[in-house]
Chain A
Amino acid sequence: MKGSMRLQTEVLIIGGGATGVGIARDLSLRGIPSLLIEREDFLSGASGRNHGLFHSGGRYVVSDPEAARECIAENRILRKIVPHCIEETDGLFVSLPEDSLDFRDRFIQACEEADIPAYLLSRDHVLSLEPELNPDLLSAVNVPDGAIDPFELVLANAKDAENRGAKFLLHSEVTSILVEGDRVKNILAKNTLHGEEYLIEASYLINAAGAWADRLLKLAGLRMAMALSKGSMLITNQRLANRVINRCRPPSDGDIIVPNHTVSILGTTSVRLEDLEHFEVTPQEVSLLIEETSKMLPAIEETRLIRAYAGIRPLFQSEGKGDDRAISRGFVLIDHEKRDGIRNLITITGGKLVTYRLMAEKTSDLLCRKMGTDLPCSTHLKPIPAMDAPSNLKDRLKASGEAEILCDCELVRTDEVEKILKEGGVKDLQDILHRTRLAKGTCQGGFCIYRLLGILNEMGLAEGDSNKILRGFLEERWKGIRPVLWGSSIKEEELIESIYKGIFNL
């Protein structure tokens, strides 16, 4: 193709979520060169829009013991290789008076069989650990759940992979896949910011596009059966409990509360949908989540919510129909040579954040078999270095006394942001938000984003019109805030709106 830039690579990975980035790192450790292409930024898919629960496997242990086993095994490995991404809080499966104690006993039994350390706590003991819990609860089972920071996880993986030779092409969307005979020959892609086109030649193609996996396959004239399910979550202004709080009942809507840095995240729902690009959190979902989660933590009824967001899960109809939650949450690895006779194409999708490493391992193993090598996996042994900004609450609060603060809700320091900007590779506002906790606090960027624009301007990074950047940010922000706008949030919004309208003419 004329005018397009030619790129060559041994392996092309599509998708910059946890799975794709995990594969890039796995391959880099095995010494196999790769290029990863992502149409927006890292974490633009489900990896940046999930619940952040570091599963022990408890959630699936009754319905899908196999998935639960995978979880607990990975749970143990990740504690060792990415301790900086995990808050080892433990989780409670709480039984309320309306919950069956039969289920609880089955749950404990199943945990035992799946090798998930679980022990029963009395009501009084539970309440002394988490005083905000509903005092009517009967008991709770403690399991090794935790909270995982997907941003830190994906970015630290990417950085380590890059140091080991992996390459990344961000803000570039795969637009066609050219198949010739039994092979994918070329891939066409287009930069989504300035329209540049690429022609990529790769010996192997790995489709790690998550919920978009089927769309990608369509470009190659193939299909896979998959359904889409939207899950919505709400963020509270303050952290309400230190542990993960689960409802001890068969998985349902609004039965998990996950702590995350300064906040708690309430979730989730499960709504079938067709459109992958346009979806919002509905008022019904907001009320459902508040109603259900407040049964466990009554304080939620009065607490301030700062944002609502949703992500899309891909689901596969391998077994039973009906309830989406009965469909396996395990991952799918497809060798298209066996399935469709295309020798150099692999699809990996589904799974969980917690199993990202295992998914990368299995994919890379399959690739090695195709390549005729048997280079072993070492991701379960080699720790991933942490990014350098302090990540836990205590350290942040402490460091805040020592430098100028840019985002004062989340205590993000100006020098932290400047460093990221200087490192380059950051193309738009959203990219900065993926790399820091900027704008993730009470004001949701209302007061710090314009300070950030000042810095961008000073550093000569605000290409063209900063009002345009600002408008884009505000539209996204508004989408997240609108569903939870009442009380203090409305007051704050009016103030922020007047700032933007009055000062920036937006």
Chain B
Amino acid sequence: MATVNSKRMDKKTWPKSNADVCIRCATCMAVCPVSRVTPLFPGPKQAGPGAERFRKSGDSSVDEWIDLCIGCHLCDMACSSGVNISELNLMAKAKYLDEKGRPLRDWFLTHSFLFAGLASFFSAITNFLLKNQAVKWIADSLLRIERRRELPAYQSPTFRQWFRKRPSSPPFEKGGDACLPLGGQGFEPYSKDRKKVAYFYGCYTNTNEVDVGKATVQVLEANGLEVILPPQECCGLPMLGNGNFKGARKMGLKNVPSLLKAVRSGLDILFSSTSCGHMIRHDYSHLLAIPGTEEVAHHLFDLFEFLRNLRERGNLNIHFKELPLKIAYFPPCHLRSLGIGLPALEILRLIPGLEIENIEADCCGMGGTFGFKKEKYEISQEIGKDLKEAIDRLNPEIVLTDCEGCRMQIRHLTGLKVLHPIQILRDALSDTK
């Protein structure tokens, strides 16, 4: 086991700035959702490689607008020269916020995992409070958390509690590999020596959308796999997104050893939240220099990417029942940035009766905790407009997307039922629900 806590987080471990390779072509300007809606943000070309030439290490930050970058990575994907634009922005943001100080609000928004356990336990009270107008008023005026945002409700029991307490999953208790638990027939069970997988569920699944976790476990089990939950903490993305490198790194230093242990015992690790996945696969190694990440990243898969791999090997349970639903699917920015295509869409298209369309829009505008902040709410809404219009045109019964931030935003924008794709896949696999 590698010891991973000695390395200091200083500027030297930050990635090399490749602002030099920017050829000023402005392609990135065409995709930035923020500069599209507000003149306050100069756009990726200027905010990243452009401003980089003006930042001297000794000078204090003056680029207040850097805080408006939502961190969607769309610019990185558009740049043909490989400029790490969103990383340059994030580092500048970190410096700006380090100097200016972070509001208490940001602490609350990025440390919700600390009191999430308690909040779940007392979920009835917490949820009452979260909906309470007086509390909202306090949040709004004292903490500058936008009042028009629904604060996510807490659920009890948490996913982890549910997982631990539930009766052991049907065919596995005696180590059997006759694995057709949900009435399917005739598919090859997943290979014998690789029948366990580890699941990184993320804090939102644990305390706020427990059913996503349940559905993930159920689908995996329906494919003959045993699910293990390695010890885990918040991935740290909310902190990183708020320029708190130190805090984010601390979370990473807790998670990686545990994930590494799982990997070294022969497990693949799956994530159902594309944001957590992007954080671990990309930012842990690249931005935070957390030792051991490379090895973890090789065995880390998006849930549907993994299911797609099963299907390619003929191992996916495709005994779906008919689901006559009209569905729209939105690929989150972080999913697109993973560069794995749209695996959820591919798998869901196998479900008979399901009418599913891809939503052509760039970014939902939520940006993790960005959309909760009072001063950024309008921008967040404005960015989301395109997405809302695209959804309206499709007029679906349900919207699916892999990221919790996107789900919150789409619920807020449209009032529709919004789920993780795994929840629909589970429904298609279960006889009774």
Separation of A290 and B46 alpha carbons in the complex (Å) = 28
Q: B51-92: which residues lie under 8 A (CB-CB) from chain A?
A: 51-60, 62-65, 81
Instruction: Decide: B54 and A262 in contact? CB cutoff 8 A.
Output: yes
CA A131 to CA B11, docked complex, whole Å? 11
Q: Are A238 and B52 in contact (CB under 8 A)?
A: yes
Binds A, one of B19-27, B193-201, B243-251, B314-322: B19-27
Q: Which residues of A contact B40 (CB under 8 A)?
A: 401
Chain A residues contacting B53 (CB-CB under 8 Å) are: 237-239, 262-263, 409, 441-442
State A237–B20 Cα separation when bound (angstroms): 7
Q: Is A408's CB within 8 Å of the partner chain B?
A: yes
Contact status B54-A393, CB under 8 Å: yes
The main secondary structure of chain B at its interface with chain A is loop
Known: A304-B20, A488-B23, A491-B23. A411 touches B81 (CB 8 A): no
Question: Would you call A397 an interface residue if the criterion is a C-beta within 8 Å of the partner chain's C-beta atoms?
Answer: yes
Residues of A within 8 A of B60 (CB): 394
Q: State in angstroms the CA–CA spacing of A400 and B50 once bound together.
A: 11
Tell whether B42 is near chain A: CB-to-CB under 8 Å.
Answer: yes
CB–CB A394/B19 < 8 A: no
Contacting pair B45 A488 (CB below 8 A): no
Set B24, B54, B58, B62: member contacting A492, Cβ < 8 A: B24
Q: Mark B217-242, 1 if CB is under 8 A from A, else 0.
A: 00000000000000000000000000
Q: How far is the CB of A10 from chain B (nearest CB, A)?
A: 45
Shortest Cβ gap from A266 to chain B (Å): 15
CA distance A488 to B80 in the complex (A): 11
> Judging by beta carbons under 8 Å apart, are A397 and B63 in contact?
yes
Known contacts A239-B53, A262-B53, A442-B53, A447 near B42 by CB under 8 Å? no
Residues on the B chain within 8 Å of A443, using CB? 23-24
Smallest CB separation, A398 vs chain B (Å) = 4
Residues of chain B contacted by A487 (CB below 8 angstroms): 21
B56–A495 CB distance below 8 A = no
Q: Does A242 contact B (CB under 8 A)?
A: yes
Q: How far is the CA of A487 from the CA of B53 in the complex (A)?
A: 19
Residue from the list B12, B24, B46, B51 in contact with A446, Cβ < 8 A: B24
* A394 contacts B81, C-beta separation under 8 Å: no
CB of A394 within 8 A of CB of B50, answer no
Interface centre among B21, B52, B56 (most CB of A within 10 A): B56
Interface residues of A in 435-487 (CB under 8 A from B): 441-443, 446-447, 487
Q: Are B62 and A495 in touch, CB under 8 angstroms?
A: no
B67 → chain A closest CB, angstroms = 12
Residue of A nearest to B39 (CB): A401
Q: A446-B24, A492-B24 are in contact. Are A408 and B81 (CB under 8 A)?
A: no
A502 CB to nearest B CB, Å: 14
A396 within 8 A of B: yes
B55 to chain A, nearest CB (A): 7
Closest chain B residue, CB of each to CB of A443:
B24
How far, in whole Å, are A446 and B50 apart by their CA atoms in the complex? 15
* Docked pose: A142 CA to B131 CA in angstroms: 63
Given contacts A393-B59, A401-B42, A491-B81, contact A411 B54 (CB under 8 A): yes
Check if A303 is an interface residue, CB within 8 A of chain B.
Answer: yes
- The residues of A that contact B23 with a CB separation of less than 8 Å are 443, 488, 491-492, 495
CB–CB A488/B50 < 8 A? no
Point out which of B12, B53, B63 has the most chain A C-beta atoms below 10 A from its C-beta. Answer: B53
Residues B50 and A408 in contact, CB atoms below 8 Å apart: yes
Q: What are the residues of chain B within 8 A of A398 when measuring CB–CB?
A: 62-63
Contact status of A397 and B24, CB under 8 A, knowing A238-B52, A408-B46, A441-B53: no
A230 CA to B300 CA, complexed, in Å? 59
Give the CA-CA distance A263 to B56 in the complex, in Å: 11
Mark contacts of B338-369 with chain A using CB atoms, 8 A cut-off: 1 yes-contact digit, 0 otherwise: 00000000000000000000000000000000
Known: A408-B45, A408-B46. 14 other contacts (CB 8 A): A237-B53, A238-B19, A239-B53, A304-B20, A394-B54, A397-B63, A405-B42, A408-B24, A411-B50, A411-B54, A441-B53, A491-B81, A492-B23, A492-B25
15 A-B residue pairs with CB within 8 Å = A238-B19, A238-B53, A263-B53, A303-B20, A304-B20, A304-B21, A394-B59, A397-B54, A397-B62, A400-B42, A401-B64, A401-B65, A441-B53, A442-B53, A488-B22
Q: Across the A-B interface, give the 4 residue pairs with the lowest CB-CB distance, nearest first.
A: A492-B23, A398-B62, A304-B20, A262-B53
Q: Which residues of B contact A (CB under 8 A)?
A: 12, 19-26, 40, 42, 45-46, 50-60, 62-65, 81
Q: Give A residues with C-beta under 8 Å from B.
A: 131, 237-239, 242, 262-263, 303-304, 393-398, 400-401, 405, 408-409, 411, 441-443, 446-447, 487-488, 491-492, 495
